[in-house]
Amino acid sequence: MEEEAQAKVDIWKYVFGYVDMAVVKCAIELGIADVLESHKTPMTLSELSSSTGCSLPALHRIMRFLVHRQIFKKQKSTNQASTCYVQTPLSRLLTKNGEQSMAAFVLLESSPVMLAPWHGLSARVLANGSSAFEAAHGEDVWSYAATSPAHSKRINDAMACDARVAVPAIIDGCPELFHGLESLVDVGGGDGTTLCMLVKACPWIRGINFDLPHVVSDNLDSVVGVEHVGGDMFDSIPKADAAFLMWVLHDWGDEECIHILRKCREAIPKDKGKVIIAEAVMEEEEGDKLEYVRLMLDMVMMAHTNKGKERTLKEWVNLLTEAGFTRYTVKRIKAVQSIIEAYP
């Protein structure tokens, strides 16, 4: 009976699962977390209403929901006369300019462009053909981004905010990863956030941020030691001691991945070169707290790409072998991604 009762509760969570994203998106757009962060001290509902320009009754209902979801917290004021709201570790990730903010990722995935394909997911599974994104918008996600500067910027902003979380985990988890490298090409590096962070942490490296011309054309500012180069990774990749790919290969099917990896192998020296892959490695067993995130990402790939997917270690090894790499290492870090080093 307890299982049946819990099932009746859980089904409502699935029915209204979109509400969490919608209200969190609303909170980001209203700047609630930013206001609390800049205020430095707990704020009453009236103060929040005044600072955000929101209707007090509507804001009360929004905050009630977000407090229940443990995104913000309530506490009594010093004199116990009123209730105040304060930040939590989770709400700090929703500030627009925080060091490890995920706000841009939320805004990308909750945008109408990215939500539309989910309505056609069942048709995509039955047809086993083009992606739900292509069915919804008439072209694949990359072609759409190439002709939509606003959506392209959303993608780059989202990847940049993920990089601000992942790169410190990579450096802390694999401190020796970039030792001995004089040059590094970030394949599909977007706006260059990842590479700029890596070069700042490893100033002996000369960095090449490589992406499609319309992506890198906006990257006029950079850090010392980083060059932005436009091109197509399916044609050729700039030469460097190592090629770095983060959240690139999961967008593509096996044949495309093998082709990209071969191009990476051609770009690095045979004697000391390597390819560094920062991607999810799906667990074959339960227990990893981040496995649910990886499973959700796999569904995102199904909805938004033609053949992309998250891969198991066995699937990664098959790709590396087919691409001509002779050995590899895999290391877990404190992030959704693992680090795969592949050697020619």
Are 131 and 267 found together in one domain? Answer: yes
Q: Are 199 and 205 in contact (CB under 8 A)?
A: yes
Is residue 71 situated within a structural domain? yes
Q: Which residues share a beta bridge with 44? A: 84
**Which amino acid does the sequence have at 258?**
I
Identify the pLDDT of residue 331: 95
Last residue of a domain, one of 92, 117, 145: 92
Q: Are 253 and 263 in contact (CB under 8 A)?
A: no
- Which pTM does this prediction carry? 0.91
List the CATH number of the domain containing 78: 1.10.10.10
Q: pLDDT tens, 30-59?
A: 999 999 999 989 999 999 999 999 999 999
List the CATH number of the domain containing 246: 3.40.50.150
Domain count, the chain: 2
Are 56 and 130 found together in one domain? Answer: no
Structure tokens at 236: 């050729």
* Dihedral over Cα of 142, 147, 149, 151: its sign: negative
Q: Average per-residue pLDDT in the chain?
A: 91
Strands 274-279 and 338-343: antiparallel
Last residue of a domain, one of 26, 58, 92: 92
**Which amino acid does the sequence have at 183?**
S
For 303, the domain range is 103-343
Q: Is the pLDDT of residue 220 over 60?
A: no
Closest CA to 50 of 32, 64, 27, 68: 32
149: Cβ contacts below 8 Å, ≥ 6 apart = none
Identify the pLDDT of residue 57: 95
Closest CA to 96 of 25, 41, 149: 25
Q: Which residues share a beta bridge with 86? A: 73
Q: pLDDT tens, 290-315?
A: 888 999 999 999 999 989 999 999 99
Are 84 and 141 found together in one domain? Answer: no
Last residue of a domain, one of 92, 112, 137: 92
Residue 55 has a CB neighbour count (10 Å cut-off) of 11
**Which amino acid does the sequence have at 109?**
E
Percent of the chain with pLDDT over 90: 75
Identify the pLDDT of residue 1: 67
Q: pLDDT tens, 81-131?
A: 788 999 999 999 999 887 789 999 999 999 999 999 999 888 877 776 678
39, 250, 259, 304: the catalytic one is: 250
Is residue 98 situated within a structural domain? no
Is residue 188 situated within a structural domain? yes
Are 72 and 108 found together in one domain? Answer: no
Are 116 and 87 found together in one domain? Answer: no
| 259: annotated active-site residue | no
**Position 284 confidence tier, pLDDT thresholds 50, 70, 90:** low
Q: pLDDT tens, 147-194?
A: 999 999 999 899 989 999 899 999 999 999 999 999 999 999 998 999
Is residue 338 situated within a structural domain? yes
Are 186 and 56 found together in one domain? Answer: no
Closest CA to 253 of 318, 180, 331, 163: 318
**Which amino acid does the sequence have at 53?**
G
Q: Is the pLDDT of residue 274 over 80?
A: yes
b/e 10-38 (16+ beta carbons within 10 angstroms → b): eeeeeeeeeeeeebbbbbbebbbbbbbbe
Rg (CA), the chain: 22
Are 127 and 78 found together in one domain? Answer: no
Q: Are 268 and 323 in contact (CB under 8 A)?
A: no
